Amino acid sequence: MRLDRIRKGRVSAQANPASASAEHIAFLKRVKRHNRFIIAIQLAILVIFFALWEILARTGAINSFIFSSPSRVLETLLRLYSSGELFRHIGVTMLETVLGFTIGTAVGTLFAVLLWWSPTLERVLDPYMVVLNALPKIALGPILIVWVGSGMEAIVVMALLVSTIVTVITVLTGFNDISGEKQLLMKTLGATRLQTFLKVVLPASVPTLIGALKLSVGMSWVGVIVGEYLVSKAGLGYLIVYGGQVFKLDLVMASIVVLCALAAIMYYAVAIWERSILKKRGER
């Protein structure tokens, strides 16, 4: 809707540059004000959540031993930072996540291209992809440990299992949603399968590819944490498991807060990259 209004503003600006340009500038200012308002509301919700959490813990409305509190979480993070453990565990989890995300996205996208290229292969493998997507990946944990060992390799493979299948299904659906008329026109004009893919399917699928990246970010984090639950000697998932075992719930909550922050940073990095691409394509 907003994109349509901006385009209409551009058209009116071409018809009547003097008056329409002022209207267009005013519209853009309103959009910026609205965006700032959204960001302010988001920050306010976050501040209210932590403030309410702290107040309830201090007044005894909730058990601070079980639910912890922002002040206790902060103390735990400072203690981990002072001992040098905080960034060591963050670094391990980030490395595993980036590896799982990068490899999973690349492999998933290439496999989706292969399935689009061969509709017969897609029909053959479709039920298997559905089963693999529905299968709880944690059930494969013991097998992975036997196959690839109990180190970082098993955790990265777990992240790959979680993110790759989702990427394949998402990207392939985007490829198949591209208008068949455009592809038929290219075929009528004598274009090869490769030319059709590069000139029609791939450019039209850029929003889908970016959406798959966003989805893969979250799934990679899920896979890494599941893997660290099963087998790890370091990482945020290890801290969560260890904290739960020794009833250090402040450590558990601190690790979860750090996880949320890192996942958000990684997601918004992809979102910023998306805006830059769409801007270059003239869609923003």
Domains belonging to the chain, first-starting first, are 2-59 (no CATH), 68-280 (1.10.3720.10)
Q: Name the residue with tokens 């590069």.
A: 198
Query: Is 211 a residue whose pLDDT tops 70?
Result: yes
Task: Give me the mean pLDDT over the 251-269 stretch.
Answer: 89
Instruction: Classify the phi-psi angles of 248: left when phi > 0, otherwise alpha if psi is within -120 to 50, otherwise beta.
Output: beta
Residue 3: which pLDDT band, with cuts at 50, 70 and 90? Answer: very low
Query: Is 257 a residue whose pLDDT tops 60?
Result: yes
Q: Is the dihedral of CA 104, 106, 107, 110 positive or negative?
A: positive
**CA distance linking residue 141 with residue 137, whole number of Å:** 7
Take residue 186 and report the two structure tokens written for it: 């290219």
Q: Name the residue with tokens 């299968």.
A: 135
- Nearest residue to 29 (alpha-carbon basis) of 4, 6, 1: 6
Query: Is 226 a residue whose pLDDT tops 70?
Result: yes
**CA distance linking residue 228 with residue 225, whole number of Å:** 5
User: According to the model, what pLDDT value does residue 85 have?
Assistant: 87
User: According to the model, what pLDDT value does residue 48 have?
Assistant: 94
**CA distance linking residue 214 with residue 65, whole number of Å:** 35
| pLDDT above 90 coverage of the chain, percent | 9
pTM assigned to the model: 0.75
User: According to the model, what pLDDT value does residue 6 have?
Assistant: 45
Task: Give me the mean pLDDT over the 247-273 stretch.
Answer: 87
Give 31-74 pLDDT, tens digit per residue: 888 888 898 998 999 999 999 999 998 888 888 888 888 899 99
User: According to the model, what pLDDT value does residue 49 have?
Assistant: 92
User: According to the model, what pLDDT value does residue 241 have?
Assistant: 87
Query: Is 87 a residue whose pLDDT tops 80?
Result: yes
Query: Is 27 a residue whose pLDDT tops 90?
Result: no
Residues contacting residue 55 through CB under 8 Å, at least 6 positions apart:
61
Query: Is 9 a residue whose pLDDT tops 70?
Result: no
